Each structure stands twice: as C-alpha cells, then as structure tokens.
Structure 1
C-alpha cells in the first residue's frame, strides 16, 4: 500500500525532523535543530518566506522553501530550496513541493528563481525549466591535522566574534559581500535583518569564529557554524584594502584550530569556481572535495 504524503507549512517544532533530513541529504553541511528552528521561524515580512515540509506517517521526509531575496537591489529575485530524504525519492514529493513553491513565488511577484541541486537532480530541475549558471564545490578537512599557523602581521589583532560589536561585523560583512560570486549582487543588506537572521543565528559559534582587527576596524573574518562534531565554514571575507596580505588564510587557520580544541573533528565549506583565492586557501588548509552542486536559474512566466 502506498503511504500517504502530507505537505503542510513548516513550524518551529519541525526543526528536529528538518535537521535530520538535511543531514541525510547533505552530509557535508551543518544545521543543528536550533538552526533549523531559526530558519523556519525567522524571516523578514517582505521576504514572503514560505517553509514547507512533507510528512509520511507523521515523520518529516522532505523540506521545501521559497522567498524573495531582500538582500539585493535587483527586483524580483528569489530563492528556492527542496530536499527529499533518499528513502522517499521518486514518489512525486519533490514535484509537489516545487509546484506549491513556484505558485507562491509567482503570487508574491518573483521574476527569477535560484536553486542549487546535486548533479543527480539536474534532470529533475531541467524538467521544471531551470538552467545552469555556476558550480559550487564542497570540501571537507580533518581539523585535527592542519598546516602550521601563519604569522599575524604587525598592526593586526586577532579576536573572536564574541568580542566585537555587531556593527563592526556588519560593516565588514556588507563590504566583503559586494563582490562575492553570485547571481545577484548582495548590495542591499539591512542591518536589522542581518542582525536577526545572521548575527543572532544559533548556528553561528562566535567563540570559534575569528576576525582580524586593524584598530577598531574589522578587516577580515571567518564564520564557524557548528552541529555536534561537525563545523561549517561559512562566510570568509576581507575588505578590499586589506586583501593580498594573507589575512583570510590566517583567520581561517586560527578558527579551525579553535574548532578542533572544542571537539570538532571535521569542517566543511563551499567555493564557487570563480573564487580562485579562496580555493587556494582551502587547498592549503587540506580541504578535499566531497561534492559538487549546480546553481540553477528559472525565469517565471509573467
């Protein structure tokens, strides 16, 4: 007998189930239940964020979400995410989620949708009208075995993010994000939204995340998110006037050592094909590729 699939709006109490499905699909990404709850419950009203789950026998087996990208000045940009537990694929769950989410995005005025897929999901995405744009490579490293830590340059002080004012971090993040490889520029990041969605995210471990300070200015930083014995190296950024000095290599090296001391065994990260400098740093740290994802775009019918 075919088991009945129920698709409904996600709520905070779905966090454990969503985190479990995500871990089954993306072994190289970190998302604790606390972070999943934050993802489900915290969003800007103008984002028109719709989180969905699919259940079989009252167990969450899939996640779907979509919303407008409110961190870019380009109108009508949106993001969509769908992942289905490997044991529940080929049953129409992904298609049902996509139909609901595309309808929602059309209703809220989205023009273009961005999604990421594994190579084995490319045919599914193309059948929905998506086309390829970029590749992201995911890599992991055993943080208990790292190359020697670089020297700290004169005039630079290393601190953890729990020692800095969030305004300093916001300024550095906003500047460093302007030329991040992306389908839309990250040029409209409002402080209040950044504070709630990024700085206050329970996944960010500020005691492990490291920044390089030049006086009162944060000039480089790396963010560490944790989930059990795994860590995710999130954004690593340097403001343009301090690039080429080895600061990104330094802060990431220090942060990974702090993670190892805290009981983390493996850290994962992602790199766009276009981001050669960061790829070089991660190769030096010993990261080895574990997966590739494709960044896809869909233009919605007007």
Structure 2
C-alpha cells in the first residue's frame, strides 16, 4: 500500500501529537544522547510566522497512521533557489516505502515552487565514537544527494572539566584582548548592540566553512534580529550571549550565543561564534566563549552538557573548543541535491 501524503494541519491536534511522538521516537534511535524534541517549540513553530522564512510540513500515513514526516524550509529573502529539508520515518514503519514516497513528494513540491536544490543532514559514527545508524546516509545517497560539508559534533561534559580550566583559558585570552570589553545578555540583544549583532550573525555563512553548499549570506538588520528573537521567545528557547566591545569605537566586534530548549535544562546548543575579521588575532573567540559559558552556568544550575558542530577544516574554532573541554562524539554530513 502506498503511503498517503497530506499537509500537516496545525488544528488537527491528534495528528500534531502523533508527529511529536514520531519526532521523539526517531531522535531516540538516531541520536539517543540528544534531548528529546521539545513539544512546546514544535507546537509554537506550527503557528508562529516570520517574514524571512516559511516552512511546509507533510504527513505520510500508512493505514491512516502517521508514519513519516517531511519539513521543507523555504528562505524568503536570500537562498530563494534552495530549501532545507527534514525527512523522518517512525522506526516502526521503516522499509515500507514511506521515505521514498516523501522524497518523491519533496522533489515534486520543489519543482512547483521553483527551487533548484535542497539541503539535509545525517549523522554517522566516528571510529571511536558511539554507534550511529547508517540508514540516513544510505538513503541520501540512494536518492542522489551529494555530501557537501563534513562536520564533527563535539560535546562539553561540564561534570568532567574543572572550573580552573575555564578560568585559566579566560585569563589567557584577556591578556591578549587589551582594548576590548566583554558584555553579556540573556535573550534580547541590548539596543546599543543590535545592529552589530545582526551584522555578525549575517557573516556566519560567508566566514564559516560551508564546503560545496550553495548558500547566500543573509543580511540581518535590527528588524530581522528582533523578529528572530520574538520567534525564539514563542518557542520558549532561552539564550545567553557574550560579546566583545571595541572600547575605542564602541562597536560589538565578537559574538557568541548558546541556547537551551524549554524541556531540557540540562542541555544547551552552541549557536553562533564569530569575530569581525578586522578584529581577529586578539583571542576574542576564546574570550567570549568562556565568558558566555560562565554566564550561562550562573543562570542555569542544571546545565550539564553543551553540543557544538565544527567543519573539519575549521581548525581555529576546533582548537578553542578542545581547550574548553569539548570532545568529538559523532560525524555529521550536510547533503545537497540539485533538482
């Protein structure tokens, strides 16, 4: 029997609940050390709209039971020829054509939208790391996608690193950062730093390694930054940021942010870390990352682990993370397919 595919209706509460359960089940077998997908964030994402991005969601049913889930992320300003994709099949319904049916629907829908390529991620094992399923990479290859960017996830286990390590690393970074002041904030960026924070966030695509991915760097002005912050607030995602201010000009020239989802106070995701090219060479990356970790810990007493990703060629950021105590866990690949 062929799966039946239809859009996910946010008002269809039983199906929304079933898809949330599917997401949890998939994560449990794919990356079991991740926190479970947050139901608050998921339900808010179904209704909260932003001007710079739109998401389409589809459910695949077998005998009326939700068995697969497809998301198509559609940038509305830059990258209008591409789409980010998430495709998940419940572990109890695999090897029954659900994934292929959703992929065929994806290709058809991208053609209708005039999108020329999509991006998706998979996880795999490192030689000495925990075992990960190979199904994701095998499926991507079978569908014709090409591996475009290899990355490694590293995890900081806060229970295994003495605080002295961060104090010494921070002190060493401060000795090279004369003329810069560290500032911190939770959630909403202070008005005086908003324009610079948007500029730094927008540089991430152009400054960080992106391999063979075809991506345009976004332009993030204050209005878009505030819109993104409102979205995170709707998702009940809590964030902590640290920046370096150049004392001579008053400009925010380095920025790092970590965030935690509502249902996992023990876990945080490392988001952006970026230093303006004109201010590199002063160890500002290490300075703000250590300061931000200490800032977050002061507000999140249950925090135990932080996860981050680095492209294999990003040696400078890897060295900072390793010095802080991050250690490799698994290998990730960003796939790209022209359609």
TM-score of Structure 1 vs Structure 2, range by shorter chain? 0.7 to 0.9
**Partner SS for 2:95:** coil
- State whether structure 2 residue 87 is matched by structure 1 residue 82: yes
Aligned to 1:241: 278
Residue 163 to residue 45, structure 1, CA distance change in 2 (3 Å): closer
Aligned to 2:238: 205
Aligned to 1:138: 153
Q: CA deviation at 1:178?
A: 2.4
Aligned to 2:251: 217
Residue 253 to residue 52, structure 1, CA distance change in 2 (3 Å): farther
**Partner SS for 1:95:** helix
Aligned length: 296
Contact between 1:160 and 1:209, CA under 8 Å: does it hold in 2?
A: yes
- State whether structure 2 residue 186 is matched by structure 1 residue 187: no
Q: TM-score scaled by structure 2? A: 0.75
Bigger Rg, which one: 2
User: 1:28 and 1:213 mapped to 2: Cα distance?
Assistant: 36
User: 2:139 and 2:48 mapped to 1: Cα distance?
Assistant: 29
Q: CA deviation at 1:47?
A: 4.7
Contact between 1:177 and 1:237, CA under 8 Å: does it hold in 2?
A: no
Q: CA deviation at 1:230?
A: 0.8
Q: TM-score scaled by structure 1? A: 0.83
User: 2:297 and 2:335 mapped to 1: Cα distance?
Assistant: 35
1:160 to 176, 185, 190: 185
1:1-302 equivalences in 2 (<5 Å): 8-9=7-8, 11=10, 14=16, 16-17=20-21, 20-21=24-25, 23-24=27-28, 25-27=30-32, 29=34, 31-44=37-50, 47=53, 49-54=55-60, 62-70=68-76, 72=78, 75-119=80-124, 120=134, 121-144=136-159, 145=161, 147-149=165-167, 150-151=170-171, 152=174, 153-154=177-178, 155-161=180-186, 162=188, 164-165=190-191, 166-182=194-210, 183-191=213-221, 192-197=223-228, 200-201=231-232, 202=235, 204-206=237-239, 208-215=240-247, 216-227=250-261, 228=264, 229-261=266-298, 262=300, 263-300=302-339
User: 1:251 and 1:100 mapped to 2: Cα distance?
Assistant: 44
Residue 131 to residue 118, structure 1, CA distance change in 2 (3 Å): same
User: 1:40 and 1:27 mapped to 2: Cα distance?
Assistant: 25
Contact between 1:135 and 1:293, CA under 8 Å: does it hold in 2?
A: yes
Deviations 1:182-202 (A, max 9, x none): 213442334344432356413
Residue 275 to residue 39, structure 1, CA distance change in 2 (3 Å): farther
Q: CA deviation at 1:181?
A: 2.1
Contact between 2:5 and 2:58, CA under 8 Å: does it hold in 1?
A: no
User: 2:9 and 2:154 mapped to 1: Cα distance?
Assistant: 30
Deviations 1:142-163 (A, max 9, x none): 1242523313333322222446
User: 2:244 and 2:236 mapped to 1: Cα distance?
Assistant: 21
| Greater displacement, 30-39 / 133-142 | 30-39
